[in-house]
Amino acid sequence: MGAAALLSIDKVTMRFGGLTAVKNVSISIGKTDLVAVIGPNGAGKTTLFNTITGIYSPTEGTVTLDGEKISARKASDITKLGIARTFQNIRLFNNLSVIDNIKIARHTRIKYSFFDGIFKTKKYREEEKLITEESLKLLELFNLADKKDLLAKNLPYGAQRKLEMARALATKPKLLLLDEPAAGMNPTETKELSELIHFIRDQFQIAVILIEHDMNLVMGIAERIYVLDYGNLIAEGASRDIQNNPKVIEAYLGADIDTGH
């Protein structure tokens, strides 16, 4: 676990009664790493994400962000400290506009007080103007600016995925977690997603961890891959090493899976 790591997961175990979903997992993520977590369904991947983001507090072990222990912190506090995520099932505010979905994500960063908000003081007006400007810039980066006034539910599926990522970035994270971002996408959308993930990492200079079953996407963009099976970390390394690892082939890559989804 190097001193320069942005995120350190140290011997984390997550139990639910008699079920051990994650067992003694240690992972280290650098400040601009782009890595993937793969494995069969039920391997513990999303549980690991939930443990990192404060939805669960680990039964054993610690999670550290920039040297600060976060494994006992609330999810809202962890967001403020710099971790954002998307979900396998899109979780937008469907009946809000596209731009309001972005603006609402900025609530963790507002500096005006409750008093300022109630009485709409100069400080409130100036910060709300800045939030609107920054939200528009994010939408422009994701080619969604022309849809800013549409309700989120009226966006095409691929655009909803983009909006969810843009909303996560509005929290100004150091680390972005993407849970199966290619789920439900066609090959053209998946190719665009691959380019978008690279763009996000390079443009915002943040670390990205993705959970994904589309092996073409994973092998094409991940600089390092971690493999979970029954909650255990069974392998880690570059894509070539993972593809040729007998344990991974037996547990996952050699199984009858749809690597295009």
Domains of the chain: 7-82+173-253 (3.40.50.300)
> So what's the pLDDT on residue 256?
40
Please enumerate in sequence order all residues whose Cβ is within 8 A of that of 162, keeping only pairs 6 or more positions apart, or say none: 142, 143, 144, 196
CB atoms within 10 A of CB 102: 26
Residues of the chain with confidence (pLDDT) below 50: 1-3, 255-261
- Confirm if 75 and 54 have CB atoms less than 8 A apart: yes
> So what's the pLDDT on residue 259?
38
> So what's the pLDDT on residue 117?
84
> So what's the pLDDT on residue 79?
94
- Range 125-162 burial, b when 16+ CB lie within 10 A, else e: eebbeebeebbbebbebbebeebbeebbeebeebbbbb
Please enumerate in sequence order all residues whose Cβ is within 8 A of that of 30, keeping only pairs 6 or more positions apart, or say none: 2, 4, 5, 6, 207
Q: What does pTM read for this prediction?
A: 0.90
Question: Encoding tokens for residue 180?
Answer: 């199966």
Query: Pick from 236, 246, 167, 178: which is nearest to 207 by CA?
Result: 178
